[in-house]
Amino acid sequence: MHVVTSGDPAGEPLLLLHGTGPGATGELSFGPLLPGLRAHRCVVPDLVGFGRSSHPAAVPAGPGPWFARRVEAVLRLVDDLGPGRVHVVGHSYGARVALELLLRVPERIGRVVLLAAGGTPVKADLQKLTGFYREPSAAAMGDLVAAQLARPDVPDVAGYVRERFAVAVRPEVRRSFESAMAPGEPAPVYDRAVLGRVRHPVLVVHGKDDATIPPAASLFLAEHLPRADLHLFAGCGHLLQFEVPARLGALIDGFVRIER
């Protein structure tokens, strides 16, 4: 996996896992948050099949096989980070990966932040994501990003759209995304029985105006994760790390530092 690091190299690792979508990468997704997390050792990978990470041709089509391959790669990355605990921030699809880490290697995971989380029984609206490659263009990427924002005054959205579109039109990126979204074995869904097994402290965060994954998803997580705190940001959509980066960064920073 391609990995970007930032912050204090002596700190405990803070693993940031990005969401899905054409052209998504770790650095693009979390760039606005990183200045507020500079006290931590931030580790920001591109998940397998995204950005500059590998794009394996042998993965069977469908969400399930691709999810399994991505989780395997992240587990190897956790091992590479050393024997101590790793804190995790997961956005959207990345929150689904974070939940899987909690179940697979609970002894390696510290505190977890789930942003606009996918993977619950609450249905997401992915039409903008899945329809992008029917007629891929810079304008279509702009529409996709706009649909995930609730605020009109987000700085440098044009630059983000431009960089993300440049990644999205790379042939291997398109091939991986379309294969992962094709019909096939589904990715796991984390219901109340599964969530009840998690004993880690978790911060669940959502934008109240998220049109991609409704806030009900985070309410579900907060209800069924035994040690979950919940924070809703008014006037925010799915890309809340772009809409309230300073406030969200401070919230994550404070939560990860707490010992209890």
Model pLDDT for residues 122-167, shown as the tens digit of each residue: 999 999 899 999 999 999 999 999 999 999 889 999 999 999 999 9
pLDDT band at 259 (very low <50, low <70, confident <90, very high): low
Q: What is the pLDDT of residues 98-119, one digit of tens each?
A: 999 999 999 999 999 999 999 9
Q: How many separate domains does the chain show? A: 1
| Residue 238 designated active-site | yes
pTM for this predicted structure: 0.97
Q: Which long-range contacts (CB under 8 A, 24 or more apart) does 143-149 make?
A: 144/21, 144/22, 145/239, 147/211, 147/212, 148/210, 148/211, 148/212, 148/237, 148/238, 148/239, 149/237, 149/238, 149/239, 149/242, 149/243
Selecting among 92, 176, 179, 218, the annotated active-site residue is 92
Whether 210 is catalytic: yes
At residue 258 the predicted structure's pLDDT band, cuts being 50, 70 and 90, is confident
pLDDT for res 260: 45
User: Catalytic: which of 6, 46, 87, 210?
Assistant: 210
Q: How confident is the model at residue 250 (pLDDT cuts 50, 70, 90)?
A: very high
Give catalytic status of residue 18 as yes or no. no
Helices 138-147, 157-168: axis angle to 10 degrees equals: 120
User: pLDDT of 33-85, one tens digit each?
Assistant: 999 999 999 999 999 999 999 999 999 999 999 999 999 999 999 999 999 99
In the set 40, 87, 91, 238, the catalytic residue is 238
Range of the domain at 209: 3-257
What is the domain-level CATH number for residue 138?
Answer: 3.40.50.1820
